[in-house]
Structure 1
């Protein structure tokens, strides 16, 4: 039998346990933590209410809930994750490398509805609080764990993800939480095992895997850490330069390439240096993002080396031309929240060693206040708004207009109407250059100002008129919605190739 020293040498782990902090035994990790499971259940209920009510009120979108459902539907049927929203026969794995969606396929086969996906996301985001709060309780006690658990659960990054459709980040959040807690506890092999599945979630997360490996090496397991760095970098390279292009047929697009390339690479080395230095702070949304990352921790997270794990995600976001990546909206910051709050706990542990418990109480009080002040500014607050629970005539109108569309029909629909149909029809976005031409049905929301890909409602109205000129007749009008159907004997194509509108920026999911 191999000795402990031989085992440590063969894995690259240090022969002696890292002295600070010690690895907890199972009893220390689990004692008195029942309340954390109740916290997770409460957060799940909150997230589910917010996201499902948005869908019921026709506030979700084709970009992105429609994309996610079509991908999961493809996996559930035993085929490729074909996403009609992104183009005829477009494969999700040529847009983002996210085979993790296949994990939802068995559940979707039983409950084929977008609500299944929203509930799965709510569960995965909520369950991440368990390792975070347990770590906080072990290090700082239950009162601190309550503040940290609620800080994570009500954080603006998680709230924004819950309030905007569903995304692959739902898988990354609990995996990241498990990995960063294991790093904090110096369970280095466990940290790597939690991090490696991130390679199946999204192509850029290999950089986060590499960052985990760098910290593992820094904490003493050099061989294991370097191997993890190589695996993360190689995984991202393979996905970006081989797997994404291999799954991108002609006529579709890759969001990774479109979002990460520079629209203007002029200026040479000086321009590149500016972009990765002062350029990181040249726009107000970038500065606000950086401040809000650490403000809920009373800046204490800056004391922890674990906070370095946010750098890969921040690097590609802040150097991108896509302004949607720079701020606090949408789902882009959700994966950062576990890192920030575990770093907060680690920073408090370090602070206590130098300044005593009084400073800990002060930092926790500041954290609680900042969290409470930020909640009303983000989507979780909608759970207590009367408008969330009001019966809206527009919802009944939407259901009435969608009802005549038969199952398995080909449809172009306004962005917010797409996920109302993806469970039973082949749907693309009305007016998008990626949409399949000549659908049998068109259904349009004529008053929604957030109607990508159009810049203005007048542009959309002109496109509806074009549809009527090329053989579509009105079947039903209810409130702000209109349903059109194509005449079977009209030979004209809709839309004519030269008339598709210039798309108004990049859709949020891109």
Structure 2
């Protein structure tokens, strides 16, 4: 098949593909060549090429039906996983207990003092997340730790609809719906579901909505949706800053708001400085931002090359980068939108905490809306390319992204839903778990490990046994199997008396790996 010169192919791609729904169709005047320049003959473009490069944007029911179905199925999957995880008394960390305690305080219109982190510990002195005050009314309606898990599941599912809906606009009903499904099972999203509640539950839908607005050229809407990220977690201010710079770059020509992106960048960076240098230290019991010490800024400044080498000096980092690029269908690398992921990647890989390096857990959740937005933007950019091979690859990029997402699923906790003998089975310690919980009365103070912490925060005052300076509790509970001990104390009563001299404790429960010691009044 004969092809025209590159300038002609680029024009055809622009005309045939709805790259920006705000761009008006060409007028008759646009078709007339300037005086003195002869009109170039149009090279033939096959019907097949036109159709494959420019899918018809679905309208009516077809535009939202597929995304809605995918979002509902995603919500159901996430909720079922959370319910089964909860029924099996699986608690991967202390974070659900921490955020439930915070929600309980907000519901009571109290300061977010979280005793799991320490006696009198204000959680805003740990991370800056005032937007979590939104959990207060939700928790007041349903005061249960499981409420936070369901809320997170629904927030993630809302982002699924947003991403899938825009994918349908770009790719058509079938491919767009499949891309939405790939996002729903992407490693960052389902990893966060399995890791239970974290503050990024709010960041994911905000980012998804803001990114779609950015791709559609709705600058003010994009700015308004992404700006609140600075109140979700302090490091997300850097994400907002880069988002603003990308928005400025895209809007610098033909926009009535060219400086909005620069203002947004200043807003994001300003809140990073204010929160980490002023607000967090002000509210912290240690008068500092604890997480700043995890990055050796002085070492990076004196050895600048480590800024790059630290990004690839561990196999887990390299694998995370590869799967992130792969889930964009590789074509996401063409989009400047992918730069918005850089701050999250940098702080994770520069830190001295190796739990940040992998692609599991919840740390990659905020990267998923960015990756899929970059995929969709990369497809549109490739359609405009003068390179024929790139325009043709734009038709396959979505399939590559879907394939990568599907191939990753067996390596993720969500795959446990497909194993009846795993997540669906009752815990072998269920009876003992319920019995020891029943032995602790409401409103008691309990010092414990992470094992049953999340099951106690709704009705007792919980302290983490790993902290020093806790007041003598009414009960001390040890989970020898899943509490995080290595090894666990052999006698909970003796251990409680060692931790709290002057108090006397007696063992009141010892079964299934649980030991419960009660303080003796006297």
Task: Classify the TM-score, shorter chain.
Answer: 0.7 to 0.9
**Measured at CA, do residues 359 and 62 of structure 1 come closer, stay the same or move farther in structure 2, by a change above 3 Å?**
closer
**Stretch deviating more after TM superposition (148-157 or 358-367):** 358-367
Q: Deviations over 1:23-52 (max 9, x none)?
A: 389996986212211211110111111122
* Contact 2:62–2:173 under 8 Å retained in 1: no
Deviation, structure 1 residue 468: 5.1
Deviation, structure 1 residue 63: 1.7
2: CA distance, partners of 1:269 / 1:340: 29
* Contact 1:191–1:212 under 8 Å retained in 2: no
Indicate yes or no: 2:333 matched with 1:305.
no
Q: Which residue number corresponds to residue 186 of structure 1?
A: 217
**Stretch deviating more after TM superposition (310-319 or 114-123):** 310-319
Q: Which residue number corresponds to residue 419 of structure 2?
A: 385
Q: Which residue number corresponds to residue 425 of structure 1?
A: 460
- Partner residue of 1:132 out of 151, 160, 163: 163
**Measured at CA, do residues 464 and 186 of structure 1 come closer, stay the same or move farther in structure 2, by a change above 3 Å?**
farther
SS of 2:477's equivalent in the other structure is strand
Q: Deviations over 1:181-217 (max 9, x none)?
A: 1111111111101101111111111111111111121
1: CA distance, partners of 2:215 / 2:61: 16
Alignment of 1:136-147 (within 5 A): 136-147=167-178
**Measured at CA, do residues 120 and 23 of structure 1 come closer, stay the same or move farther in structure 2, by a change above 3 Å?**
farther
Q: Which residue number corresponds to residue 477 of structure 1?
A: 510
- Partner residue of 2:82 out of 30, 38, 51: 51
SS of 1:388's equivalent in the other structure is coil
Deviation, structure 1 residue 62: 5.5
2: CA distance, partners of 1:266 / 1:131: 41
Q: Which residue number corresponds to residue 163 of structure 1?
A: 194
Deviation, structure 1 residue 435: 6.1
Q: Which residue number corresponds to residue 493 of structure 1?
A: none
Alignment of 1:13-52 (within 5 A): 21-23=20-22, 32-52=63-83
Q: Which residue number corresponds to residue 488 of structure 1?
A: 521
Deviation, structure 1 residue 277: 1.5
**Stretch deviating more after TM superposition (320-329 or 121-130):** 320-329
Indicate yes or no: 2:249 matched with 1:211.
no
Deviation, structure 1 residue 278: 1.2
* Contact 2:106–2:136 under 8 Å retained in 1: yes
**Measured at CA, do residues 146 and 268 of structure 1 come closer, stay the same or move farther in structure 2, by a change above 3 Å?**
closer
Q: Deviations over 1:85-104 (max 9, x none)?
A: 10011111111111122112
Q: Which residue number corresponds to residue 144 of structure 2?
A: 113
Indicate yes or no: 2:322 matched with 1:291.
yes
- Partner residue of 1:227 out of 263, 279, 283: 263
CA RMSD of aligned residues (A): 2.4
SS of 1:42's equivalent in the other structure is helix
1: CA distance, partners of 2:371 / 2:406: 17
2: CA distance, partners of 1:232 / 1:50: 35
Deviation, structure 1 residue 21: 2.6
* Contact 2:63–2:168 under 8 Å retained in 1: no
Q: Which residue number corresponds to residue 408 of structure 1?
A: 443
2: CA distance, partners of 1:361 / 1:286: 29
2: CA distance, partners of 1:342 / 1:264: 32
Aligned residues, how many?
460
Q: Which residue number corresponds to residue 69 of structure 1?
A: 100
Q: Which residue number corresponds to residue 11 of structure 1?
A: none
- Partner residue of 1:321 out of 348, 352, 357: 352
Indicate yes or no: 2:428 matched with 1:397.
no
* Contact 1:413–1:429 under 8 Å retained in 2: yes
SS of 2:517's equivalent in the other structure is strand
Indicate yes or no: 2:340 matched with 1:341.
no
**Measured at CA, do residues 85 and 62 of structure 1 come closer, stay the same or move farther in structure 2, by a change above 3 Å?**
farther
Normalising by structure 2, we get a TM-score of 0.83
* Contact 1:296–1:370 under 8 Å retained in 2: yes
Q: Which residue number corresponds to residue 442 of structure 1?
A: 476
Q: Deviations over 1:385-438 (max 9, x none)?
A: 2221112230221110111111111101121210010000000222x1256231
* Contact 1:86–1:434 under 8 Å retained in 2: no
Q: Deviations over 1:485-509 (max 9, x none)?
A: 11223xxxxxxxxxxxxxxxxxxxx
Q: Which of the pair has more CA radius of gyration?
A: 2
* Contact 1:24–1:185 under 8 Å retained in 2: no
Q: Which residue number corresponds to residue 243 of structure 1?
A: 279
Q: Which residue number corresponds to residue 500 of structure 1?
A: none
Deviation, structure 1 residue 464: 6.1
* Contact 1:51–1:164 under 8 Å retained in 2: no
Deviation, structure 1 residue 359: 2.5
SS of 1:476's equivalent in the other structure is strand
**Measured at CA, do residues 359 and 27 of structure 1 come closer, stay the same or move farther in structure 2, by a change above 3 Å?**
closer
* Contact 2:493–2:505 under 8 Å retained in 1: no
Q: Which residue number corresponds to residue 261 of structure 1?
A: 293
Deviation, structure 1 residue 304: 0.9
**Measured at CA, do residues 116 and 269 of structure 1 come closer, stay the same or move farther in structure 2, by a change above 3 Å?**
closer
**Measured at CA, do residues 327 and 481 of structure 1 come closer, stay the same or move farther in structure 2, by a change above 3 Å?**
same
Gaps of 5+ in 1: 1-18, 490-510
2: CA distance, partners of 1:367 / 1:277: 26
SS of 2:509's equivalent in the other structure is strand
